[in-house]
């Protein structure tokens, strides 16, 4: 039997301890046996291994092979520029790998989150004396002293306590503080630790009360430790972008190697010398490797993270940027994510009537002597069923005696303490009592009430009372659960008059309570009685003031964010540890599920039924049952644990969904890590959640995730744009080699000139394409299919079979124009350093770059005309083009550029045909786009 179900004496005996605590010697022995009270980290991957992995993924391996082949070719055929190519490729690998590691290393170096939630110093009984020890030195059997404001350092069982209420939101996700007492548990042996009333869990905190407790679990054996274990062992999904880069790497390797082998065989058949043939094959392979693609992808993602940071979304892992755009389901926690994680008065039942839409500003304006009153709020008929009673939109002055008395009761009956936080004096304690104090403080007398007595809250009575004095009069104010307070009331206050509370009146009060509870509100009843000068405080013969319903209000920006998600085809599922009524009420308020009314019944409209699934039911479901539940258009999971939240995430992943999980509590961390995208709250979120997430919302604004999804969708399209741009130039780099072998002409483009394009002129324009703004329609379209390829056949066909061959034609025409003007005839040999040959290869290079300048505009959209986009729409585009043209001029005209890239300036008259051919290249692509758009219109009609 668990010690929670034992008597206090039996619980102490089972741990071989007493209320005087352990001796120092026994505590030291147990510390050696059980270990320190800390959350051990599972041995993760060493940093040097993570660093090395950035240089050994498949695409990097291809680049290493290409560099090795270049150095090998240089050793057998010096002077061909192969060593420069090899050195440049190695430099690309090192810079790209170091940059990627640094991005993640910087994000991972946050303070150890799991340890920060546990207190550093704990008051504990040792050798019969109260002393203070570090929290890490607690052992099972220690007796600790806790009071309001303390964090609980370990799992412990209460042995005495007074008015203890615990905030367990970080563990359970439930926003309401829970009452705890030392009595033997009555929940049954099947109840979990979260439901046991005499147990305090590590990681929670006391919002009120004080008590003694005996520690029974420390470190990784606590419930907190079990969640930490789930967080550390949850597998992280491989992102879609990582999968696509791997696929692209395989395709590049197969294509380059296959082409190299094919032309090696062709060269053998044509009688080429072996070594010359091998060097040619190596050149083919290296020319087919897009060396600039990997750094361009990395830098483009890094730029996207900066844009997201400006929109309050901090990305911790670069590939997560693209994955966001594919998100099909967002699993959101409620407390602190969709709501504000603070209590507020939502509805009041007073004078026999309900007041909805309470606001602090309206309440302040309603206090005695402050006008105007509550003229803007409507009072709803509570069901007194008298024809002359209030109807919809009836307005009652808020300074009625009944309301004033209710407010004074709410502001006086509490156990709050004043403290200092961030340099300001604030009320510390139960958030619910803080909300009630704010609700009623404006109605207090100017000189205040003097509190002279208190009957503290306890879990048996489920109420508390205070005795106050003012102007020579004494009152007892009482608040508590309606079911325990109503039987103590003999009358009810209606407009300042005390009316007998008969069975009929009690029925209406219970109806009002039930209606509030069904709306997801936390309902408290308030009553009072006058006391004589020497009369003892007793909770009987009370006058009922009314009922107050409180709730954790949703963030104001959430409804619009939910609507944007729905228009973008993203399903939002609430997963919370809170009560199902509360969860359903918030879901209706933010538009997550259909509202009751307007032809709907219990959230059912047009066949769209809302399913509310409790954690206990979820635990008993088979995999197939859970997946069928997730097919419902509207589903809410309530009262779920961390393990059960992970079950939902895993089920969605099995269904092929791309899952983003939002949350801020410790209980969210395992699911955050298991999801494709984990999104933590930056302000209210725990460090545990942040360390498990891929993205952190810096402003805790749920709407920021929608902005991040928009950026993620734009990133996917932008990567396609610059991939088209980069892969297009591969063809005019390959074709010269093919012409060299098949047509027996001088090699039109050298290897080092290929390098000038791949890692020089192409880089900044490609990055500019990666910074294109999101299309206005991108969030009105459904998410792309999970199996949609980044490197689609349409993209490959456009780059390799259309744009690439056109560019190759432009470059070869320029090459032959220069050769012909210089008097070259077919079959005549040209030395590698012949001025005519250098000018011709330079013209070929210049033609490729000129065509790529035009291609930047063509790649901004696969169907829309270049004239549909302004140059000012992308602030990086013009600088990218200027750098591309400037670098080309340096390569052609500057002595260092000519030496490094084996170029020589050609006659200025050849620039005109190069420019005209480049414009014609753009015109042909524009013609293709016109035909595509015309075909789309015909298909739609």
How far CA 665 is from CA of 171, 199, 861, 893, in Å, comes to: 7, 20, 42, 62
How far apart CA 215 and CA 202 sit, in angstroms, is: 10
Alpha-carbon span 907 to 927, nearest angstrom? 32
Counting Cβ atoms within 10 Å, is residue 852 exposed (0-12), middle (13-18) or buried (19+)? buried
Q: Are 430 and 208 in contact (CB under 8 A)?
A: yes
8 Å CB contact between 146 and 206:
yes
* Contact call for residues 851 and 807 (beta carbons, < 8 A): yes
**CA 554, CA 175: separation in Å to the nearest integer?**
12
**DSSP per position, 279-338:** HHHHHHHHHHS-TTHHHHHHHHHHHHHHHHHHTTEEESSTTHHHHHHT--EEEE-STTTT
Query: Environment class of residue 909 by beta-carbon count within 10 Å: exposed (0-12), middle (13-18) or buried (19+)?
Result: exposed
Q: Which residues contact 168 (CB under 8 A, 6 or more apart)?
A: 174, 177, 178, 194, 201, 204
Tokens of residue 386, six digits: 């008298």
Distances (CA, A) of 644 to 204, 279, 576, 582, 667: 20, 60, 10, 19, 10
Query: Active-site residue 333, yes or no?
Result: yes
Sign of the Cα torsion 602, 607, 612, 613 reads positive
Kindly state the tokens that stand for 72. Answer: 């090998």
> Quick one: CA dihedral 440, 445, 446, 452, positive or negative?
negative
The token pair at 848 is: 């490729």
State the catalytic residue, choosing from 333, 430, 578, 762: 333
Buried residues in 612-648 as b, exposed as e (16+ CB within 10 A):
bbebebbeebeeeebeebbeeebbbbbbbbbbbbbbb
Catalytic residues: 333
């Amino acid at each position: 039997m668990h010690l929670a179900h034992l008597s206090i004496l039996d619980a102490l005996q089972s741990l071989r301890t007493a209320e005087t605590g352990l001796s120092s010697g026994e505590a030291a022995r147990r510390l050696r046996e059980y270990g320190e009270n800390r959350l051990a980290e599972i041995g993760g991957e060493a940093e040097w291994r993570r660093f090395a992995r950035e240089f050994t993924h498949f695409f990097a391996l291809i680049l290493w092979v290409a560099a090795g082949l270049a150095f090998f070719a240089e050793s057998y055929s010096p002077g061909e520029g192969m060593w420069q190519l090899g050195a440049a490729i190695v430099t690309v690998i090192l810079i790209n790998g170091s940059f990627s590691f640094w991005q993640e290393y910087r994000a991972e170096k946050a303070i150890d989150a799991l340890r920060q939630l546990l207190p550093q110093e704990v008051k504990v009984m040792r050798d019969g004396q109260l002393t203070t020890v570090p929290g890490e030195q607690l052992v099972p059997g220690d007796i600790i002293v806790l009071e309001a404001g303390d964090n609980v350092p370990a799992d412990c069982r209460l042995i005495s306590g007074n008015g203890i209420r615990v905030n367990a939101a970080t563990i359970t996700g439930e926003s309401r503080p829970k009452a705890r007492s030392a009595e033997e548990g009555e929940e049954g042996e099947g109840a979990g630790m979260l439901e046991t009333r005499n147990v305090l869990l590590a990681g929670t905190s006391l919002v009120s009360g004080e008590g003694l407790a005996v520690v029974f679990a420390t470190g990784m054996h606590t419930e907190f430790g079990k969640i930490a274990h789930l967080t550390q062992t949850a597998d992280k999904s491989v992102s879609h972008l990582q999968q696509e880069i791997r696929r692209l790497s395989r395709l590049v390797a197969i294509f380059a190697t296959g082409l190299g082998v094919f032309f090696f065989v062709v060269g053998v058949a044509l009688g080429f010398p072996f070594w010359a043939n091998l060097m040619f094959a190596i050149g083919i392979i290296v020319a087919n490797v897009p060396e600039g693609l990997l750094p361009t992808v990395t830098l483009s993602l890094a730029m996207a993270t900066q844009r997201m940071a400006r929109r309050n979304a901090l990305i911790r892992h670069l590939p997560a940027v693209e994955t966001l755009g594919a998100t099909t389901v967002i699993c959101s926690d409620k407390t602190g994510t969709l709501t504000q994680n603070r209590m507020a008065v939502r509805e009041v039942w007073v004078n026999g009537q309900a007041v909805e839409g309470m606001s602090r500003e309206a309440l302040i304006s309603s206090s005695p002597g402050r006008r105007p009153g509550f003229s803007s709020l409507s009072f709803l008929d509570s069901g007194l069923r008298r024809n002359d009673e209030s109807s919809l939109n009836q307005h009652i002055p808020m300074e009625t005696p009944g309301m004033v008395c209710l407010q004074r009761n709410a502001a006086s009956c509490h156990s709050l303490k004043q403290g200092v936080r961030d340099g300001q004096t604030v009320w510390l304690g139960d958030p619910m009592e803080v909300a009630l104090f704010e609700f009623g403080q404006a109605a207090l007398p100017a000189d205040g009430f003097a509190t002279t007595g208190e009957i503290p809250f306890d879990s048996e009575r489920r109420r508390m009372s205070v005795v106050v004095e003012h102007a020579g009069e004494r009152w007892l104010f009482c608040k508590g659960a309606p079911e325990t307070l109503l039987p103590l009331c003999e009358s009810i206050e209606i407009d300042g008059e005390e009316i007998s509370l008969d069975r009929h009146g009690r029925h209406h009060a219970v109806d009002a309570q039930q209606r509030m509870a069904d709306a997801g509100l936390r309902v408290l009843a308030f009553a009072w009685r006058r006391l004589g000068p020497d009369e003892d405080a007793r909770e009987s013969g009370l006058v009922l003031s009314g009922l107050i319903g409180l709730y954790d209000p949703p963030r104001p920006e959430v409804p619009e964010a939910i609507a944007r998600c729905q228009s973008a085809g993203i399903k939002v599922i609430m997963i919370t540890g809170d009560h199902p009524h509360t969860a359903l009420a918030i879901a209706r308020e933010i538009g997550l599920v259909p509202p009751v009314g307007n032809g709907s019944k219990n959230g059912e409209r047009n066949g769209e039924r809302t399913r509310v699934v409790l954690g206990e039911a979820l635990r008993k479901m088979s995999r197939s049952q859970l997946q069928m539940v997730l097919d419902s258009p509207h589903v809410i999971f309530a009262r779920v644990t961390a393990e059960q939240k992970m079950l939902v995430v895993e089920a969605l992943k099995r269904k092929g969904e791309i899952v983003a999980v939002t949350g801020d509590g410790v209980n969210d961390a395992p699911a955050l890590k298991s999801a494709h995208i984990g999104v933590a709250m930056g302000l209210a979120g725990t460090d545990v959640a942040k360390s498990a997430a891929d993205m952190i919302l810096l402003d805790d604004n749920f709407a920021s995730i929608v902005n991040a999804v928009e950026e993620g969708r734009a990133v996917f399209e932008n990567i396609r744009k610059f991939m088209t741009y980069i892969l297009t130039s591969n063809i005019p780099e390959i074709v010269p080699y093919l012409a060299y072998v098949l047509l027996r002409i001088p090699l039109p483009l050298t290897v080092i000139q290929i390098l000038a394009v791949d890692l020089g002129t192409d880089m900044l324009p490609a990055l500019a394409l990666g910074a294109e703004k999101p299309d206005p329609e991108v969030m009105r379209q459904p998410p792309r299919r999970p199996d949609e390829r980044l490197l689609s056949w349409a993209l490959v066909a456009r780059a390799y079979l259309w744009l690439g061959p056109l560019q190759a034609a432009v470059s070869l025409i320029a090459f032959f124009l220069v050769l012909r003007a210089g008097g070259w005839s077919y079959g005549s040999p040209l030395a590698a350093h012949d001025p005519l040959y250098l000018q011709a290869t330079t013209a070929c290079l210049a033609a490729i770059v000129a065509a790529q300048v035009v291609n930047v505009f063509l790649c901004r959209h696969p169907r829309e005309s270049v004239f549909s986009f302004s140059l000012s729409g992308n602030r990086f585009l013009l600088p990218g083009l200027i750098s591309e043209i400037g670098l080309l001029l340096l390569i052609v005209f500057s002595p260092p550029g000519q030496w490094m890239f084996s170029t020589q300036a050609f006659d200025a008259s050849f620039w005109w045909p190069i420019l005209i051919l480049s414009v014609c290249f753009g015109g042909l692509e524009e013609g293709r786009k016109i035909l595509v758009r015309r075909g789309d219109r015909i298909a739609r009609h």
